[in-house]
Amino acid sequence: MSFQEYLKFLTRMFVQYVETPKEERRQRKVPRESWSSRWFGAIPMSIKLLLRK
């Protein structure tokens, strides 16, 4: 991908973001993972499952 193509892509994405209404942008937000999963991956989840048994 050349620099011009990349710049066009970024410009298109920015314009699309600016043109969408604020309410619609807020609805698209995906809930975040728990902090333990985000920082340490699947290890805390596997430990929790082992302890529950």
Q: Is the pLDDT of residue 30 over 80?
A: no
**pLDDT score, position 9:** 96
**pLDDT score, position 44:** 79
CA atoms within 13 A on the CB side of 52: 6
- Mean pLDDT value across the chain: 84
Structure tokens of 46? 């596997």
Sequence-ordered list of residues with C-beta below 8 angstroms from that of 45, at least 6 positions apart, any chain: 36, 37
List the chain domain ranges. 1-26
